[in-house]
Structure 1
Amino acid sequence: MDPLSRRVLKKAGPVKPAHDRHDHSSEAPLYFALSKTLGVALLPINLLVELGILSVVLMATRFAALGRKLAAVTLILLALAAFSPLGNLLLYPLESRFAPWDPSRGAPDGIIVLGGSIDTDLSAAHRTPVVGHAADRLFAPAELARRYPNARIVFTGGTPRLVSTESREADHAATVLENVGIAKERLTLERDSRNTWENAIFTRQLVSPKPGERWLLVTSAFHMPRAMGVFRKAGFDVEAYPVDWRMGGRADLFSFTNMSVDGLGRTDVALREWIGLVAYRLIGRTGELLPGPGPGKD
């Protein structure tokens, strides 16, 4: 273990083990490997780059005509992803699925924060937490912890890498959360999960929620439908606390962007999430394609 990880773990205090790595609930090795290899290769922006390279290769062979057609199609798709409202149209059904949490329902017993905001490799390399994106996932629990001093705070996140390392997101998140005012005694770290399914399974095993307890689930608004579906399937009843919105609302649906980075980013995030929803539904990790608020809940 590198010196930073030892320092973080010492600071965060003892961490209750989340699970046995051979537990039947953990991710199937083949599925996890495919999701991190073939799944990554098929992500929208990656796929467009791959098609572009293929078109160039084809143009140097006897299939030059096919290569030119493929290049034209790829360029059109790239333009749509970068400059059209496509990303907004795909994001809106995800971000609007769950309304902001209603505090009038009373204080929660616990708050679960999903990982995905800290780059574990960069954090280990620079010996300090590096927040790459979705920083709202870390800001929200700080506010909630002040508002509800008796609520337990759980951060769940290990490493999403195919080849596991000693650098775990929960370890670095502990430093960030303590720096924003959350006492380490209130923090519970789940540091072995590699994806949303394992977030739900391992967190449920770790905290053993009691009947009648109310737990909030903090994650990005676009990710909330899949996260809620997974936690429900895992038998952990939680309430949605969406953060990290990428759109202002319905008014943004048909807005065009002048920044290709914004357009490509939104399209990639949205399509990645839709692919995840379909995959999780097909393998039975959610009960419906687009999970929504339950009757009288969320």
Structure 2
Amino acid sequence: MIEFHTIMSSLLMPPLAPLLGLLLAFFLRFLPAGSLLEKFSLPLAVISFTVLWISATPAFSSWLGKRLGGAPDITGAAPQAIVILGGGRYRDGESGSERLSASSLERALWAAQHAPKDLPIMVSGGRVFRNERAAEAEMMAALLEGEVSRSVSWRDDCSRTTAENAVNSAAILHGADVKSIVLVTHWWHMPRAAAVFNSAGLQVQPLPVGSSAELLPRAREGVLRWVPSAAALLRTQTYWRELLAQAWYRFRPLPPIRKC
């Protein structure tokens, strides 16, 4: 199911979507001259190329990131715990060795540096794909306890998605009589994460890693805003995926608690 969601989301995002448009335009060009589909090949190629170019510009990725919105402003009881969401891992395909991705590392260290020191910590993240060894929660807990001397009170090592993070964390924390939390994830992920955690019954105080002020580095001002780059394309893909996920979560019920 995770593989299916990944494929479907890729079909709706750059670079795959405009590349498929270019490929289709190439094949349409060889249809009988003068046919309706053959005439459509050039406009399709121009549109696909333009979409790919714009998607890879810092100006567009910055604009798209601002469309994500902010986390819900929920005021309530003082937070009782910290929840850190996993952000992926790197895995060596030959040796099978694994380590936390840059996103996971940033979230764990951000929580250690900026979250209240007196609150207990929960880490949330399982094995997303079958060949992964350790759960992300286990890897984050090892980092926090071994490198920064912050004990971890709870681990959700079964969840694979943000919605599963929310329902699994809520079940564990409600059992410990925790109803309000400090939630730690990246700023672009926070609006969706905070909303689904609120829906799961936890009051959220957002503690985002970074902010939307990072969207346009100084080196990408002026004309450079419209010069394509791999970094800008990656940001566009990240923000577009979040917008798609926000829409998907808006119309989907919360999943059941995931056990592993």
TM range (shorter): 0.7 to 0.9
2:203 to 237, 241, 263: 237
Structure 1 198/98 Cα, relative in aligned 2: closer, same or farther at 3 Å? closer
Residue 85 (structure 2) aligns with? 114
Residue 257 (structure 2) aligns with? none
- Deviation of 1:164 (Å): 6.3
For residues 34 and 128 of structure 1, what CA distance do their matches in structure 2 show?
23
Residue 189 (structure 2) aligns with? 223
1:44 to 14, 17, 22: 14
Residue 177 (structure 1) aligns with? 144
Q: Structure 2: which amino acid aligns with 1:76? A: T
1:59 to 29, 34, 59: 29
- Deviation of 1:112 (Å): 0.3
For residues 29 and 156 of structure 2, what CA distance do their matches in structure 1 show?
50
1:75 aligns to 2:75 (yes or no): no
For residues 167 and 124 of structure 1, what CA distance do their matches in structure 2 show?
16
2:127 aligned counterpart, secondary structure: coil
- Deviation of 1:43 (Å): 2.6
For residues 51 and 65 of structure 1, what CA distance do their matches in structure 2 show?
15
Q: Structure 1: which amino acid aligns with 2:181? A: W
- Deviation of 1:265 (Å): 1.7
- Deviation of 1:113 (Å): 0.5
Q: Structure 2: which amino acid aligns with 1:152? A: P
Contact 1:122 1:130 (8 Å CA) reproduced: no
Contact 2:81 2:122 (8 Å CA) reproduced: yes
1:97 aligns to 2:64 (yes or no): no
Query: Which sits farther off after the overlay, 214-223 or 250-259?
Result: 250-259
1:219 aligned counterpart, secondary structure: strand
For residues 123 and 238 of structure 1, what CA distance do their matches in structure 2 show?
37
For residues 92 and 283 of structure 1, what CA distance do their matches in structure 2 show?
24
1:140 aligns to 2:110 (yes or no): yes
For residues 213 and 78 of structure 1, what CA distance do their matches in structure 2 show?
44
The sequence identity of aligned pairs, in percent, is 23
1:279 to 245, 248, 251: 248
Contact 2:89 2:101 (8 Å CA) reproduced: yes
1:238 aligned counterpart, secondary structure: strand
Query: What is the RMSD of the two structures over their aligned residues, measured on CA atoms?
Result: 3.5
Residue 18 (structure 1) aligns with? none
Contact 2:173 2:179 (8 Å CA) reproduced: no
- TM-score between both structures, scaled by the size of structure 2: 0.79
- Deviation of 1:199 (Å): 0.3
Residue 159 (structure 2) aligns with? 193
Structure 1 99/42 Cα, relative in aligned 2: closer, same or farther at 3 Å? closer
Structure 1 172/137 Cα, relative in aligned 2: closer, same or farther at 3 Å? same
1:87 aligns to 2:61 (yes or no): yes
Residue 35 (structure 1) aligns with? 5
- Deviation of 1:259 (Å): 5.1
Structure 1 107/192 Cα, relative in aligned 2: closer, same or farther at 3 Å? same
Which runs of 5 or more residues in structure 1 are unaligned?
1-28, 286-298
Contact 2:81 2:180 (8 Å CA) reproduced: yes
For residues 94 and 149 of structure 2, what CA distance do their matches in structure 1 show?
22
1:283 aligned counterpart, secondary structure: coil
For residues 259 and 245 of structure 1, what CA distance do their matches in structure 2 show?
22
